[in-house]
Structure 1
């Protein structure tokens, strides 16, 4: 059996390009993706703090099994279909589930097939690293880290708003821009620390990708990703993959802001992760 390849990060970390690399390398990443290549079936099942706060390991494994059946076998039985539909209905991120009903019916009617290699990209995957590792025997987890100060001033605050409570970081809605940036950086630090700690348990099945290095040295980093994922890719295809990473305009955006709003320990952690300040 091949590997299951998962990509997680803080939202806005540049994971779309890495997912695109895997897609073009032949890895099935799902049939329900948005523009950033997020797997929305994973989102529907697991990006829900109300579920996460009370879920047992059995509850999480039940939803992971539904996800596995959907992705690996391209099929759902009636029981699993019901779990997916209820999870999506209970998920405040989704208001209209009509298209999902059509998708679920198709999965019920589809003859099951076994995919040897598949994966997904969804930033909130980082919340479930430990549970995923315990569930999948063949998991390969890629964690993407973007410059913490760039992330502090990102417009993407989804994970901060959704999971900030895990680290006692709360956004009331009346904060000034600098106060939100401070909280966003603190969330980046806390979530990264937790992900790296959990990653130690995965050993060689955990790969850390520095977004800045990925953009500056695409050949080297894509070769790492391909080797880590256990993929065989022809040279001609590899040369195409090397062209996917792009230097975005948002790299270095922190330089336009006052960094005095941050504590020394925050700046130090950014440096420890290998980013220049």
Structure 2
């Protein structure tokens, strides 16, 4: 298998919250890629959550240096462990992040103080040190430009789900907390589905544009609906993207598609025609980019 040095990740998986990234995390884990030990039910890597989904970063864009420091801590935790290696500044940072999280803190980002404790006390994994590793956390795409510089050679899978379905998703965390990064603000009279759909267009556009400039050949966009309809057709491309052996079979029984087509049960008149046109254009682009060779 050809992959970057074990010090750097092989792959990360991201997309808007609720895009179906769990399917791909489960698939890669079953194929032998370590995605971490501190995971929630959707298989989000909670060490990444602790380090990157910070309350302060939802108010003010982090500097490249801050993201680089977080990326270094994450890499070390995933490869050699942080226990006994932290300097005073790193201890202070991780303690502050821990204290922000439940049950003692009020920052609800999906991680808890216990996850931060596990991060600070992480030890070297017992698995083969040459085992390829990566992670899944939907918010990865927000930091992708920085991460591409911090982790030379790593690859990224961006999962895109139908924009109209996503507009009515109950997973609204990203649109509520990151929209300002894309120049989008929600006014009090803006319906949440409208805000969600605008965010879907802007965030996915930013990721696709970045792929052409900074991650050429290392960025794979996948349509969730197309993959669910025919995973066997898409698996060879995904396998080649990660340099997995040809003998690596598609893991069974990992697809659990739900709520595909939910927008059909909602009133779409809340969306202006120009936004609907932008959604259709983006979905056509995603379909073209994700179609197997």
Counterparts of 2:217 and 2:183, CA distance in 1: 31
Which residue is equivalent to 2:67? 60
Which residue is equivalent to 1:271? 280
Q: Mark the CA change 1:156 to 1:26 in structure 2 (over 3 Å): closer, same or farther.
A: same
Counterparts of 1:242 and 1:144, CA distance in 2: 20
Q: Mark the CA change 1:212 to 1:87 in structure 2 (over 3 Å): closer, same or farther.
A: same
Within the candidate set 10, 21, 43, 1:4 is matched to 10
RMSD: 2.6
Which residue is equivalent to 1:123? 138
Kept after mapping to 1: 8 A contact 2:164/2:197: yes
Q: Mark the CA change 1:148 to 1:105 in structure 2 (over 3 Å): closer, same or farther.
A: same
- Aligned residue pair count: 268
Q: Mark the CA change 1:213 to 1:71 in structure 2 (over 3 Å): closer, same or farther.
A: same
Within the candidate set 81, 104, 124, 2:120 is matched to 104
Counterparts of 1:110 and 1:253, CA distance in 2: 41
Kept after mapping to 1: 8 A contact 2:61/2:181: no
Q: CA deviation at 1:258?
A: 1.6
Q: Mark the CA change 1:82 to 1:22 in structure 2 (over 3 Å): closer, same or farther.
A: farther
Within the candidate set 94, 98, 116, 1:88 is matched to 98
Counterparts of 1:253 and 1:169, CA distance in 2: 25
The secondary structure found in structure 2 opposite 1:159 is helix
Q: Which has a greater percent of helix?
A: 1
Which residue is equivalent to 1:137? 152
The secondary structure found in structure 1 opposite 2:244 is coil
Moved more, 93-102 or 44-53: 93-102
Structure 1 residue 69 and structure 2 residue 82: aligned? no
Gaps of 5+ in 1: none
Gaps of 5+ in 2: 102-106, 288-293
Counterparts of 1:246 and 1:98, CA distance in 2: 29
Moved over 6 A (4+): 109-113
Q: Mark the CA change 1:141 to 1:66 in structure 2 (over 3 Å): closer, same or farther.
A: same
Kept after mapping to 2: 8 A contact 1:75/1:111: no
Q: CA deviation at 1:110?
A: 7.8
Which residue is equivalent to 1:37? 43
Within the candidate set 223, 237, 241, 1:224 is matched to 237
Q: TM-score, normalised by structure 1?
A: 0.87
Which residue is equivalent to 1:184? 196
Q: TM-score, normalised by structure 2?
A: 0.82
Q: CA deviation at 1:267?
A: 1.6
